Amino acid sequence: MGALGLLAGTAFLLLASHALLKRLRTGSAPVDLLVFLLLFTALQSAMILLALLTGLLSFWPLTLASAAGLAALLAAGERPPPLRSLVPKRPDSAWDRALFWGVAIAFLSFFAKLAWFSPYWGDAIMYHLPSVAEWVRAGCLVSGFFHDVRVWLPAGFQLIETWWVVFLHHDALIELGGIQMLAIALAAVNVLARALGLHAGFAVFTAAYIPVVSLNVTTCSNDLAVGAMVLSAFALVAARAPHAFEAFPILLGVGIKPTAGMAAGGVILYAVLTGRSRPRPRVALLLPLLAGATLVSGFWYARNQHLTGTPFGPVFGGPGTMGHVANPNIGLENLWDTLAKFPDWARDRGIFEALAPDKTAWGWFVLGIGFPVTILSLRASPELRRLALVFFTSWLMVLVCVEDSGQQLRYALWFPVLFALAAARAPGRLLVTATLLAGALNLVATVIPRETTYVQGREDFPRDLPRDADLAVVFEECGYCYPLYNHDYSRRLHYPRSMEQLRASGARYVYVADPVPWVMPYRKWRKLGGRVYEVPRP
């Protein structure tokens, strides 16, 4: 039943996005594909946000609304494109076929990870996905439900993830959000490559196999989503879309993570450098689109302003409990700190991880092949020099705005794609062979994400605990909460911060992630297994 709802909902979004695309059509198939994916994502986000605000976030309202929308579109004469037009053309040469199948294998590996792994990545199960779980359980927007201050960060990517779980009331497909973002990122790389006269297949293959990109596909992290939006903005500029529309992905990105706004400087510079010769925008269509994107993204900042008195919530500038997020320090010293460590990080000493701590996780291609080939390409091509300048500008702006945590390079996942593009200027057989081998090494290193070997949140979890029994979770600043909700979101979690709150919650069981002082009596309580104890009745 849930699968039927998801199919109906997705069919509605696909047809609605196609209907909008027909009115925006750019005349270029690669640009149309990118715009189509962006429209799909925007409508998907808007629909979930609307459902959250109206308290209609559940199977029946969303399925009925989707079915009604689908019927209305069909009645209005909208038809999906013929299936034949969606089948990619057979690449001409053997090398192109190898690159094509390489990208197909990358996508297969992501679907295998989707099927095989539950959400495993630390930040996602600490504070990204608990929001999704609370929304799906409540059927409406729930804000600030626990005291990890990062719960106030913009949740644009959680809207996309919620779409893939709400119909099923199960998180089996939650990583589809990341695969969707990779599709957007690669569609943007395709547009950029074609606009600059590069070998698109080579650029797409190389970008798909950059470890820090591929690892972030299935982490439920929002960094790839921001990367996809920034690349889309660059691509729309390169494809000479109307200036107003070039802002569309950045507006969507700001609702996912503020780093999209930090990277916007390079996009604006690119738009200035590429001149004014643009087609006239269709104001009647573009204005509602831009207004919609602003509303969907601006909502999180307005919510924070309303509930906490600051648009960024307690995360930035407020008295948060976590030192590394409570006190932003924007300045050139951040940039120097990162640049001083970059020569060491580029060597990637250590196993690739999505967070890329103390390394770039850019993989075998970028340093070994990408750097020298990029030098040659930049010497030969003014267009590529311009692209490198604006990529660098955006990268430096992001690095000025984020503190040195050892993990800051992942905030600009889109940056290493520059080397994939630069190397795609005129790839000969030797270069393609070396790149295919580098891709294979990157795949070996990332086919099992390192983080899946960490036990987070479910260690020694008692099997005999009833699946739907309420559970209180006690942590000091952050905890691995999400797995405790169960895959079908059947368990209600409470987040008490005192013994009185714990008693008032009515939860019979408590998961002590951190033994904070007020919960110390737990040592005398009956242990069910792992960190779960039974709360004695008063």
Residues lying near other proteins in the complex (CB under 8 A) are found at 343, 346-352, 364, 367-369, 371-373, 375-376, 379-380, 430, 434, 441, 444-445, 447-448, 450, 453
The CB-of-388 to other proteins minimum distance in angstroms stands at 14
Residue 384 Cβ, how far from other proteins at the closest point, in Å? 13
If one counts every other C-beta atom within 10 angstroms of the C-beta of residue 53, the result is 12
Residue with tokens 């879309």: 241
Strand (E) positions, 439-508? 471-474, 493-494
Q: With residue 493 as reference, give the H or E element that holds it.
A: strand 493-494
CB of 437 to other proteins, least distance (A): 10
Rounded Cα gap, residues 413 and 361, in angstroms: 10
Residue 258 is which amino acid? P
Helix (H) or strand (E) holding 534: strand 532-534
Terminal alpha carbon distance of the chain? 43
Distance of alpha carbon 237 from alpha carbon 195, whole angstroms: 10
- Round to whole Å and give the CA distance between 78 and 24: 15
The residue among 294 and 407 lying less far from other proteins, judged by its C-beta, is 407
For residue 327, the 8-state DSSP code is S
216/446 with CB nearer other proteins: 446
Closest distance between other proteins and the C-beta of residue 94, in Å?
A: 22
Contact 122, 353 (CB under 8 A): no
The Cα 39–Cα 279 span in angstroms is 19
**Nearer Cβ to other proteins, position 100 or 371?**
371
**What dihedral do alpha carbons 276, 281, 283, 285 form, nearest 10°?**
-140
| Beta strands 509-512 and 471-474, pairing class | parallel
Structure tokens at 57: 């976030």
Residue 129 CB, nearest distance to other proteins (Å)? 24
CB of 111 to other proteins, least distance (A): 19
- Give me the residue label for tokens 């293959």: 205
Are 528 and 463 a contacting pair, CB within 8 Å?
A: no
In the complex, the smallest distance separating the C-beta of residue 375 from other proteins, rounded to whole angstroms, is 5
Q: How far is the CB of 518 from other proteins (least distance, A)?
A: 37
Which C-beta is closer to other proteins: that of 171 or that of 348?
A: 348
Rounded to the nearest 5 degrees, what angle is found at the Cα of 140, between the Cα atoms of 136 and 146? 75
Closer residue to other proteins in complex, CB, 370/457: 370
**Nearer to other proteins by C-beta: 152 or 209?**
209
Q: How far apart are CA 526 and CA 150, in angstroms?
A: 32
Q: How far is the CB of 443 from other proteins (least distance, A)?
A: 10
Nearer to other proteins, 254 or 423 (CB): 423
CA gap 532, 511 in Å, rounded: 4
Distance CA 463, CA 392 (A): 51
User: Cβ closer to other proteins: 341 or 508?
Assistant: 341
CB atoms closer than 10 angstroms to residue 4: 12
Between 24 and 424, whose beta carbon lies closer to other proteins?
424
Shortest separation between residue 441's beta carbon and other proteins, angstroms: 6
Q: Which is nearer to other proteins, 346 or 499 (CB)?
A: 346
